[in-house]
Structure 1
Amino acid sequence: MKHFFHKKEVHTTSKSRVQELEEELQQAYEQIRKLQIMNEENQDEEESKDLKSKLRIMTTKFANVRKERDTLKKENKQLQTEIMELQSHIRHMVPGFQNSSNTFPLLNELGSLTDEFYKCDCQDLFFEVLSPELSIEGIIYFFRTSFSRINDFVNNYFSPTEDQIKRTTGLESLDGPILNVLRKSYQVSWKRLANICFDKVSINRTVEDIQRVLNLGKCDNQLVKYLKKLEELVFCYYISDPPLTCPWESIGEIIQFNSLLHDAIDGFVRPGDQCYVLLPIIHKYSGEVVAKAGVLHIDYELN
């Protein structure tokens, strides 16, 4: 147990340091750009030499900070793997926990599964099906419709039970012990419940509705596969303890790129560049990020 908590503490500290380095990189990049502009505009030879000297210093600092950041990221990844292994063992050590979590993914596992889904399934769909056929408006429609529809399925599945418990107990909200017990109960057989929540008819109807508007050709099987993976993740977000938020309403919004919150789906994006949100950020109610949002530069040229 002590070993587990020690690893987690080290991982959290390293993650905080990576965030600090990301901010330093952004500041260094901005300073380098300013010095380059000043150097181009300045014609005085002595001042030009001074600016070039400062530019060399800043460039060296930029390279060193980036190297330290990359090293810490690599160490973080190794520590995260160790944490996942330790958590898989600790599940069987906590009384009353092993029954509910043998198969249900833990919080950091949900983050990894979401990252994998965004970077593999969603990007494959983006490059192979969406970008060759659609405008940016069409791509936004696709992701917004699929995420909102799956969220509706989950809410409609759980709402009747929760509303009935509220009426029976006379409570206005189930937040607290009751909802915690419900989540643990759901986690015991979450895959079976997810299959009930998302039946074949609902998935096929969603594909038909998307195809009716976007006419993406013969890719129904790929769309079904994408929706099934999305449905499992959204279902897990809802019954996770603590629960996770998937703000699908943000899809299509224009934001300023921040490497701490966003990942570029394709192309090079600088800090502060305007981007479209295509895949929503996943976070706790507290605001702590579990998986970054997938974004696309506002000037990205589609095929």
Structure 2
Amino acid sequence: MSQSPAAAAAAAAAAPGPATTTSSMHTPAPAAPHRTAPRSSWFTIPEPLRLVFNQFPLVTYAPNELPVRSPFNRDLPVLYVFASDQGALKGLPSYNPSCLKWQTFLKLAGVQFRIAPSSNHASPTGALPFLIPPSSPTDAASQKPIPSSKLERYALERGPEKLADAAGSKLDAYQALLDSRIRNAWLYALYLSPGNSSLLSQLYVEPCSASMVVRTTILHKLRRAAEAESAPYGSIYRCGAGFRGTLAALGPDEWFFGSSQPGLFDAAVFAYTHLLLEDSLEWIDTRLQDSLLKYPALVEHRKKLFSRCWGQANE
């Protein structure tokens, strides 16, 4: 009996065929997880280098000690002056009159400080001395240098000693005498006198460089500057008038201008008289010292001030 076309189609759809047989069905494999390549950064060590570094364990060395001239006490102000390394460690007087003047005045005012060797090139003002106040983590201005022009105020404000001020006009007149006659004679004696060339080199030239070319250049520049500055008053023989005029301000008193305590002008005079009479400075041309020795009161003044600030002076 033949089936109608519709019945035949329905029977074919209901009958199981190869495409629907369970044993012949294919189940797809699960997809492999997607791997993200590691992101590189500036701090990632390349694999070849990492393998090399793994062969050498990291060793941490102890920190180097600070240089001898480095400040060891940050709680004290530091005065930067012309000085040798050993002289600075011992707190000895600077061998430069301008530096020694302020070093002495700070001591007279009772300011606690230490000194460190330096040069004009390291100074923010182009000249020594200058002072760095104590370090303070809460005060950003604590490390601002104080030039020599402001050291008098700093000493009077910070020092416990109350120093008497001389009359302004009188002090200015004698300071001008000191700056003209005595200072220029000093420049001539140290920088221009052939007999004292070795002392000049020892103090200002040799510490700068071991090169003879550099030393010769520095020596030439120092002498040229001193010659230009001291030309009007160059002769050492004129210094006698300077010492004689300075002595008039001392008179029969212990300190200048009849003060009961030494002050700024005492420190200024001492800066020259001490260096001229200091045994460690080997003066060959001694005409300037010989001129000073004619005034025993100034020699005694130097001895008393040195004893007050540093101990016993050399006889």
Q: Which TM-score band (shorter chain)?
A: under 0.3
Q: How high is the TM-score relative to the length of structure 2?
A: 0.24
Structure number with the higher strand fraction is 1
Please, what TM-score do these two structures have when normalized by structure 1?
0.25
Higher relative contact order (Cα pairs below 8 Å, separated by 6+ residues)? 1
Larger relative helix fraction:
1
